[in-house]
Amino acid sequence: MVEPKVADTKPMVLALEPGPYWWCACGMSATQPWCDGSHKGSGLRSHPFEIAERKQAAMCMCKRTANPPFCDGTHAKLD
């Protein structure tokens, strides 16, 4: 399996409005943390999710979270 690129070693905290989102899981998107299609051909794909009500969220930028698309602290364990 292809390893995703680490986009950053800390989460991106955002205020999310209700609606659908596509989180970049490959780390190659120029519009982090959102998918721009850069994963095509990599064997990786975006992670769709939906927000029901406005909330602040820490989006995973290391792309190794066990709770995609949200940060679970995994970035602190990276080399």
* Residue 75 CB neighbour total at 10 angstroms: 18
The pair of three-digit structure tokens given for residue 22, joined into one six-digit string: 């596509």
pLDDT tens, position by position, 12-38: 999 999 999 999 999 999 999 999 999
- The answer on pLDDT for 46 being more than 90 is yes
Q: How many whole angstroms separate alpha carbon 66 and alpha carbon 62?
A: 11
Burial track 3-39 (b if 16+ CB lie within 10 A, e otherwise): ebbebeeebeeeeeeeeebbbbbbbbbeebbebeebb
Give the pLDDT confidence score for residue 1 in this predicted structure.
Answer: 66
- Predicted TM-score (pTM) of this structure: 0.93
Could you tell me the residue ranges of all domains in the chain? 12-77
- CB contact at 8 A, 24 and 69: no
Question: If you average pLDDT over residues 1-8, what whole number do you get?
Answer: 91
What pLDDT, on the 0 to 100 scale, is given for residue 79? 73
